[in-house]
Amino acid sequence: MFEVDGSDGGGQLLRSALTLSMLDAEPVAIGDVRGDRPEPGLKPQHLAAVETAAAVADATVEGTDLGSESVTFDPGELTGGRYEVDVGTAGSVTLLFDTLLPLAAAIDDPLAVTATGGTDVSWSPSLAYYRGVKLPLLRRFGLAAAVELDRTGFYPAGGGRATLFLWPSTLSPVALDTPLEPTGARVYSKAATDLVDAEVADRQADAATDALEERGIEVLERRAAYVASDGPGSALAVRLDGATHDGDSEGTDDGLEGQWDDRHHPLAGFDAYGAPGTPAEAVAAEVTDQVRRFRGSDAAVDSHTADQLLVFLALAGGRVAIPGVSDHVATSRDLLAAFDRPVGVDRSGPVHVLVADR
């Protein structure tokens, strides 16, 4: 049985440990869960991840109570099919999906998981980022996955609903170690219908577009939408493309996936969320400041993507140039090494490069 110290790394360490346990078909004991947090132990969104993983892997689990600071997870056979889970209030749907994405490399049958909760909430990827940046990058590894959005859920009301679809996949190494200058940006802004009169989605999109163009970045696409939700809220995402797409292709109501072309992967994505008392223009400034910092690096992917690609690098191999080795990256590397799936760091050049051989 693998034993994991869960005191550092928060919910992500828990989710990654569950993922690796399922992939290796080996039990894991996670102690001191979220021990460095003000309120340690399992919260509803973490418990939802454990319970969903247990259902998909037919696992025997101990410690499935709210507030539990230790979890023992003994997986059985991965089973495809359809599953439903309520993450609870505005618990992140996209973080739940992160627990399941790598399973495409191990399942024999398609898997679909519908989750209710927060689709666009702080401290987690927005749906636009997930569908327009993360999934396209993972397709370069050979991952066959898609996400459909039924309803947006903002913080704190939640009530969003989305479905992750996974198909059996054979992963291959990737080489994302050559920094490329972005040739354009795509702006996607959305807000609850309650905020139509305040033009929040339009103001976010306009402010982001103006700031990007002032920095010499052509805006290839601008979208502003107002969506039904259980409560007010807004989200803004910007994707930097490494190549210009020809023409306007059909896009989905909530993301940048519709115009995706595998020959031109998005280099990076950035997002932020509105909050009471925060002007729409401040949300745009937060996102465009992330873009500015990224352009000052020699990285091929943004800092959030760097962290999220680690498990796939460990599974498939490859090289990815990242902005730097964050605490999350360091913790994830330690966990992967404990599962005998090491990912190294090449520091010989001007940028850190994650390296894994398979």
Q: What is the pLDDT of residues 111-126, one digit of tens each?
A: 999 999 999 999 999 9
Question: What's 58's domain CATH number?
Answer: 3.30.110
**Is 71 contained in some domain?**
yes
Amino acid (one-letter) located at 108: D
Q: Which helix (H) or strand (E) holds 3?
A: strand 2-5
Answer yes or no: is 267 within a domain: yes
| 122 φ, ψ (degrees, to nearest 5) | -60, 155
**What would the mean pLDDT of 50-66 be, rounded to a whole number?**
97
Q: What is the DSSP annotation of 252-300? A: -TTSS-TT--TTS-EEEEEEEE--TT--HHHHHHHHHHHHHHHHTS--S
Binding residues: 98, 304-308
Which residue, 264, 295, 326, sits at the end of a domain? 295
- Exactly one of 46, 245, 265, 328 is catalytic; name it: 328
Cα–Cα separations (whole angstroms), residue 68 to 1, 56, 172, 262, 274: 20, 21, 37, 43, 32
Cis amide leading into 156 (omega within 30): yes
Question: Using an 8 Å Cβ cutoff, are 36 and 62 in contact?
Answer: no
Q: Which residues are annotated as a binding site for ATP?
A: 98, 304-308
Q: State residue 296's pLDDT score.
A: 86
Q: What is the mean pLDDT of residues 40-58?
A: 97
Q: For residue 285, tell me if it sits in a domain.
A: yes
Among 245, 260, 295, identify where a domain stops.
295
Tokens 């987690």 correspond to: 124
Residue with tokens 């969903």: 52
Whether 328 is catalytic is yes
- Chain-centroid distance, C-alpha 321: 18
Number of domains in the chain: 2
CB 176 within 8 A of CB 157: no
Residue 151 has pLDDT above 90, yes or no: yes
CB 115 within 8 A of CB 130: no
Q: Is residue 9 part of a domain?
A: yes
* Model pTM score: 0.92
Judge contact between 235 and 273, C-beta under 8 A. Answer: yes
User: Which residues lie below 8 Å from residue 132, measured CB to CB, with a gap of 6+?
Assistant: 186, 188, 237, 239, 255, 256, 257, 260, 266, 269
Dihedral in degrees, nearest 10, Cα atoms 95, 96, 97, 98:
50
Q: What phi-psi label fits residue 341: left (phi over 0), alpha (psi between -120 and 50 degrees) or beta?
A: beta
C-alpha Rg value of the chain to the nearest Å = 19
User: pLDDT tens digit string along 241-273?
Assistant: 985 334 333 333 444 444 444 444 657 999 999
Query: In what order do the strands lie in the sheet containing 352-356?
Result: 174-176, 318-322, 352-356, 344-346
User: Across all residues in the chain, what is the average pLDDT?
Assistant: 92
Tens-digit pLDDT profile for residues 274-305: 999 999 999 999 999 999 999 988 899 999 89
Tell whether 142 is covered by a domain: no
Q: Which CA distances in Å does 70 have to 5, 40, 66, 306, 328?
A: 10, 10, 11, 28, 21
CA distance 224 to 236: 9
Q: Domain of 49? A: 1-77
- Chosen domain end from 26, 47, 77: 77
* Mean pLDDT lowest among 37-41, 145-149, 177-181, 187-191: 177-181
Report how far residue 94's alpha carbon sits from residue 77's, in angstroms, rounded to the nearest whole number: 24
Across 339-343, average pLDDT: 96
Domain membership of residue 202 (yes or no) is yes
Q: What does the pLDDT average to over 145-152?
A: 98
Residue 80, pLDDT > 50, answer yes
Distance CA 302, CA 272 (A): 14
Where residue 199 sits, what CATH number does that domain have? 3.30.360.20
Q: Would you state the pLDDT for residue 263?
A: 42
Is the residue at 3 inside a domain? yes
Q: Place 136 in a pLDDT band, splitting at 50, 70 and 90.
A: very high
Is the separation of the CB atoms in 295 and 182 below 8 Å?
A: yes
Domain membership flag for residue 206: yes
- Sign, Cα dihedral of 226, 231, 234, 237: negative
